[in-house]
A and B are shown apart, each in its own frame.
Chain A
Amino acid sequence: MSVSDNRNASGWLGSEQRRLLIQEYGIFLAFLILAAVLSVSNEFFLTAGNISNVLLQTSINGVLAIGMTFVILTRGIDLSVGSVVALAGIVSASFVTSSATAGISGAPYPVALGLGIGLLVGIACGAVSGVIVSRFSVPAFVATLGMLSAARGLTLIYGGGRPVPALTPAFRWIGTGNVLGIPAPVVVLAVVFAVSWWILNRTRFGRYIYAVGGNPHAARTSGINVTRIQFVVYVISGGLAGLAGMLLSARTGSALPQAGIAYELDAIAAVVIGGTSLSGGIGRVTGTLIGALIIGVMNNGLDLMGIQSYYQQVLKGALIVGAVMLDQKRNYGA
C-alpha cells in the first residue's frame, strides 16, 4: 500500500496533513469557539474573577486527568483516583488539623509533613494497582475497580466515617492562597502540566510510554522494560490523585470521607475529549488540559446561563460521546 491509498479522504490538503492539523489543533479550536460563544452571550464570562474561578474549578480535575493520561497512554485505565483523593485527603488532613479529636496525636504537624504523607498515600495506592496490573496481568479496569472500592473503605475506616475539620491555615494555603494573584491550585496545575509535558515529550521515559501503549510487543522486543513502565504510570496517577485530594481538602478546610466520588469519570472524560485514544499510544497531555478546561468552561457557562446542573450532566455526556465520534471519523474516514 502506498501513502495515498491508505486513508480514504480527499480535499485540498493531503489527507495526512489534514489529519495532523485536526489532531493538533482541532480540540483547541473547539475550546476557543466555546469560549467565544460564552463571552458573547454573557458579559460576565470574560471577567478576571470568573476566569480565575473556572481555572480554580478545573485545577483538581486537571491534575487527575493528567495522571490519567499517563495511564491511558499505556492502554490502561485508573478508576481508583476518586477514592484515592478521599483517602489521601483524610490521611494528610489528620496530620495538619488543629482539631483535638479528629487528628492523630501531636497534630498539627508542619505542612510539609502533611503534604508528604498525602503524596505517599497516593503513591502507595498507585503502586498496589500498578503491581497488580503489570506483574499479575490483571486487566487495569478490574485492578483499579478493586482499588476504587478498597481505598474508599480505608478512608471510612481511617476516619471512622467522620470528616477531619479545622485544617491549619498554612495547609489551607495550597487550596486558597494566591501567587501573584493566581490561585495556588491553578499554579499547582500549571506546574504538574509543565512537568508532565516535559516528561512525555522530551524524555526517554515519555518515549517508552508511547512505545508501550502503541505496541507492547514491539516495545519488549526493543529491550524496553514494559512491566516497569506499566507500573510507574499507576504510581504517577496515584501520586497526582493524592495531590488532588489535598488540594480539595485544603480548599474546603476539611477532609470529607465522601470526597472525590465519581471524580475518575470527569478525569477520563477530559482525557478522551482531549483526543487521547483509549487503545493507547496516541494522545497529548496538552489535549487533556484543554479537555479539562472545556469541561470547566462548559459547567461555568451553563451556570452563568442559569441552567440546572441536571442538564449540565446530559450535555457533558453528549460532549464526551461527540468528541470520540469525531475522533473515530477522523481516524478511520467516513
Chain B
Amino acid sequence: MELLLEVEGLAKSFGGVAALREGRLQLRAGTVHALCGGNGAGKSTFLKILMGIFNRDAGSIRRRGKDVEFASPADALASGIAIIEQELSPVPHMTVAENIYLGREPKARFGGIDFRAMNRSAQRLLDDLEFDIRATQYMMNLSVAQMQLVEIAKALSHDAEVIFMDEPTSAIGEREAQHLFAAIRRLQAQGRGIVYVSHRLSEIFQIADSYTVFRDGAYVGSGALADIDRPELIRMIVGRELSEEFAKTSTPTQEPGIEIAGLSCPNKIEDISFSVRKGEIFGIYGLMGAGRTEIFNCLFGLDKPSTGSIKVDGIEVTISKPADAMAHGLALVTEDRKLTGLNLSDSVRANICMASLPEMSPSFAMDRAREAQASRDMREQFQIKAARDTMPVSGLSGGNQQKVVLGKWFLRNPKVLLLDEPTRGVDVGAKREIYRIISDFAAAGGTVVMISSEIDEVLGMADRIMVMRAGRSAGIYSREETNAQSLVHLST
C-alpha cells in the first residue's frame, strides 16, 4: 500500500546541538498514528520541519512516494499536510468562516469579499464533519474544543490528507475530548491520515492504531498499538524500566490540615465543604469549567468568597489576599505555568525566589548569597535541569519549568499545597518525579489538595477524591470505592 507520508533520517541542529538526529515516521491512509516521546525527544522540531518552519539539515520527506521540499508553511499546506498546533491562535473578533478562509477569501466584485459564498462553503464543511458550529459565530464565543474543531475544518478546507494534532486535548475536558475523537474517527473513515501527538497514554490507546516513539532526538521504534501494552510503551518513551507510574508512599494522619466549610462564590462555586488531613492527598476531579480552579482562587485570596470558613491546623483564618494565604502556610501551583506561574523573561533563580522575597531581604537590600543558595537547593532537590540558574526560565523544558514553580513554593516550606493540574504538558519521566515530590511532601506530614482532569492521576495519587460538577460537589469518595467509569459518570 502506498504511504501517505514517509519521513526518513530527518535531522536538525541548532548551533551545534542536535535537536533531532533521526526523525522517522510512516503514515498509512485511514489510520491514526500516535507520535510519542518525552519533552525534548525532538517531536516539536520534527513537527516544525514538516510544517515548513524549520529547514532540515538532512533526511527525506515523501508524500505518496514523491519527494517534497518545504520552504514555508504554505508549501506544506499545498502538499496536503496540515498541523493543528497545541496553542491555537485564532482571530477572536472574526467569524468562524473568516478564520477558515483567512487570506484566501472568495472574491466579489470591486475587490470585496463574497461573504455569502464564504459562509456557505464554511458551513458545508462544518456540517459534513457534523460539527455543531455555525460559520457566522464569532471565534471568541467558542470553547477551546470548538476552536480545535474549526482548525480541523480549516485543515480540510485546504484538502489536507495528512493532519498532525499536537496535544489537542491539553486544554479541553473529557467530554469535549470524546467529541474530538469522534471527529478524528470520521477523518479516518475518509481515508485521511492523522498523526496524534500526546503525553496522555490512555488517549493514545483509545484513539490510535499505531505508534512511533522518539527519544533524545531519534526514532526508537514503531508498531501497532494492539501489539504493545502501556508499561511497555512507557518503557520505550523513557528508555528505562519504571517500577510504578505513581509513586504513592504517603498515608493520612488523623490531624486536620485544612478544613473548608460552606465555601461559595456567586456564579462560580456553591457550598463547597471538605477537610483534608495532614499526610493526605485530596484529589479534585471534574471537567473544565466545573469550578475546580475557582475553589483554589477563593482559598488563596485571588477571589472573594461570599460565604464559607477556612481552617488551617484547626484554627479559623481570614484570607483576603495571596499574602494572607501564604502567611498561613498555603502554596498554590496554578494551572497554567506560563500564564500565572512563571515570569518567563526572568531567570530560574529569580523565579524560584519570587514568592520568598520578603524573607530573602530582611533589610530591603537583597541577600544575594541566600538567593543563590535557595536556588541551588531547589534545583538540587527537584533535579531541575538548567545550564545556569541565571538563564531565562523560558529556555527550560515544560517539566523543568513546572519543577521551578514547585521549587518556588517549596522554598516557603508550606503546610498546605494546592496543586492545579500539576503535571499538565510534562513528559512521563518528569511526571514521575513530580509525583514523587508530592508523595514525599505528604509523607512528611504536608497536606495536599490536587486538581486534575487526568483520571489515572487522581486515582493513582489521591487518598480521597471530590468530584465537581457545575460548581457543586458531586460527592467525595475514597480511592478504593471508586473507579474511572464512576468518576466520569459523576462529573458529567
Contact B54 A221 (CB under 8 A): no
Listed in ascending order, the chain A residues whose CB lies under 8 Å from chain B are 1-11, 13-16, 198, 202-208, 210-211, 214-215, 217-225, 277, 281-282
Contact B344 A5 (CB under 8 A): no
With both beta carbons as reference points, the residue of chain A lying nearest to B368 in the complex is identified as: A202
Q: Does B256 contact A (CB under 8 A)?
A: no
**Chain B residues with CB below 8 A from A7, complex form:** 14, 395
Contact A210 B323 (CB under 8 A): no
Most chain B Cβ neighbours within 10 Å, of A4, A5, A13: A5
Contact B39 A14 (CB under 8 A): no
* Chain B nearest CB, measured from A7 CB (Å): 7
If A3-B396, A16-B387, A221-B302 touch, does A281 touch B322 (CB 8 Å cutoff)? no
**Chain B residues with CB below 8 A from A6, complex form:** 394-395
- A202→B264 CA distance, assembly (Å): 42
Contact B40 A218 (CB under 8 A): no
A204 contacts which of B16, B357, B391, B397 (Cβ < 8 Å)?
B357
Q: Does B353 contact A (CB under 8 A)?
A: yes
Contact B341 A211 (CB under 8 A): no
Give 4 closest A-B pairs by Cβ, nearest first. A214-B343, A5-B19, A4-B17, A204-B361
* Cβ proximity bits B359-372 to A, threshold 8 Å, 1 near / 0 not: 01100111010000
Interface of B is mostly: mixed
**Chain A residues with CB below 8 A from B357, complex form:** 204, 207-208, 224
* Chain A nearest CB, measured from B42 CB (Å): 8
Contact B343 A8 (CB under 8 A): no
**Chain A residues with CB below 8 A from B353, complex form:** 207
Contact A211 B14 (CB under 8 A): no
Contact A222 B364 (CB under 8 A): no
Contact B344 A222 (CB under 8 A): no
Q: Does B334 contact A (CB under 8 A)?
A: yes
If A203-B364, A211-B354, A220-B322 touch, does A281 touch B19 (CB 8 Å cutoff)? no
**Chain B residues with CB below 8 A from A202, complex form:** 365-366, 368
**Chain A residues with CB below 8 A from B16, complex form:** 10, 14
Most chain A Cβ neighbours within 10 Å, of B15, B325, B355, B368: B15
**Chain A residues with CB below 8 A from B364, complex form:** 203-205
Q: Does B342 contact A (CB under 8 A)?
A: yes
Listed in ascending order, the chain B residues whose CB lies under 8 Å from chain A are 12-20, 39-40, 42, 44-45, 48, 54, 300, 302, 321-323, 325-326, 332, 334, 339-346, 350, 353-355, 357-358, 360-361, 364-366, 368, 387, 391, 394-398, 408
**Chain A residues with CB below 8 A from B19, complex form:** 2, 4-5
* Chain A nearest CB, measured from B421 CB (Å): 14
With both beta carbons as reference points, the residue of chain B lying nearest to A282 in the complex is identified as: B345
If A1-B39, A203-B366, A220-B322 touch, does A281 touch B408 (CB 8 Å cutoff)? no
Contact B44 A5 (CB under 8 A): yes
B358 contacts which of A9, A204, A218 (Cβ < 8 Å)?
A204
Contact B346 A210 (CB under 8 A): yes
**Chain B residues with CB below 8 A from A220, complex form:** 302, 322
* Chain A nearest CB, measured from B431 CB (Å): 17
Contact B341 A221 (CB under 8 A): yes
Contact B14 A222 (CB under 8 A): no
- A206→B365 CA distance, assembly (Å): 9
* Chain A nearest CB, measured from B217 CB (Å): 9
- A198→B368 CA distance, assembly (Å): 13
Contact A204 B360 (CB under 8 A): yes
Contact B340 A281 (CB under 8 A): no
Most chain B Cβ neighbours within 10 Å, of A10, A204, A217, A218: A218
